Amino acid sequence: MSLANMSFFVNEAGTNMKRSAMMAFITIATIGIALVMMGAFLLATMNLESFLQQLQAEALVTAYLKQGFAITDAKTLSLKLTSLEEIENIEVVTPEQAARELFSSPDDQQLLQIGIDHDSNPLPTTLRIRIKSGNLLEPLLQKLKNEPMIDNISYGEDLFQQFHGMSQLLWLISLIIVVMLGLASLFIVYNTVRLTLFMRREEIVIMKLVGATNWFVRGPFLVEGFIQGLVGSF
């Protein structure tokens, strides 16, 4: 394509946009609004996804140790697990600490002193684990399940499943909205181009009669669409 042809296409596109200023404005505005709405929905979804990940990271994973292991064993396991990349920090909770937390009121403390002593305390030693990020939960659970000292793991499974479901639903809704906005924009632009072609049909026929090629006829319309899309994106 020669420089002269490109210059002609740009001049023709500019002339046509001036001639049909309202149509050009509607097309540019439609593209701009669609892009802004797409970006807004995607940004909102990403922010909400980040918020859900933060909530997941703030949740505690509690690992219950099997009976028969001493506190020193729990501390050794804690030091071992601290080196894992998924873990932010670990707190070792003894059965006595767990009992005091379970029976927090004064009346409960009296019942605790009467009913539970060092030898009869049924509560296990636990590790309270805080993870660095919500998306590191699954890898961490697999590693914890392979530890022979750990009997059971509690991490609010139902809540995490709800968070995961909400995240998937948000992305699905955003995808549907983005696709709908994109199709609506294409439909409006397509009809605008068809209307432009209809308005300039006599000019196109004359250009074909004098020997203009199909690409030479299409050139100004392609350049016009490119300019409108470029302006609309800003």
Q: Does 184 reside within a domain?
A: yes
Q: How far apart are CA 186 and CA 145, in angstroms?
A: 52
Neighbour order of strands in the sheet with 126-131: 87-93, 126-131, 60-65, 150-154
Number of domains comprising the chain: 2
Do 66 and 150 reside in the same domain of the chain?
yes
Domain limits at 211?
A: 3-53+165-233
Do 88 and 148 reside in the same domain of the chain?
yes
Q: On the CB side of 51, how many CA atoms lie within 13 Å of its CA?
A: 8
Domain boundary among 120, 155, 190: 155
Do 145 and 71 reside in the same domain of the chain?
yes
Do 145 and 175 reside in the same domain of the chain?
no
Q: Does 47 reside within a domain?
A: yes
Domain boundary among 103, 137, 155: 155
Q: How far apart are CA 224 and CA 15, in angstroms?
A: 10
Do 107 and 180 reside in the same domain of the chain?
no
Q: Does 93 reside within a domain?
A: yes
Q: How far apart are CA 73 and CA 198, in angstroms?
A: 83
Calculate the alpha carbon distances from 174 to 17, 37, 184 in Å.
Answer: 33, 10, 15
Do 90 and 117 reside in the same domain of the chain?
yes
Do 44 and 103 reside in the same domain of the chain?
no
In this prediction the pTM is 0.53
Do 96 and 149 reside in the same domain of the chain?
yes
CB 130 within 8 A of CB 89: yes
**What pLDDT does 173 receive?**
85
CATH number at residue 151: 3.30.70.3040
Helices and strands (H, E) in the chain, number of each type: 9, 4
**What pLDDT does 176 receive?**
87
Domain boundary among 155, 183, 209: 155
SS (H, E, C) 17-63: HHHCHHHHHHHHHHHHHHHHHHHHHHHHHHHHHHHHHHHHHHCEEEE
**What pLDDT does 106 receive?**
57
DSSP annotation of 134 reads: G
Do 197 and 150 reside in the same domain of the chain?
no
Do 148 and 174 reside in the same domain of the chain?
no
Q: For the chain, what's the residue count?
A: 234
Q: Tell me which residues of the chain have a pLDDT lower than 50.
A: 114
Q: Does 160 reside within a domain?
A: no
**What pLDDT does 202 receive?**
82
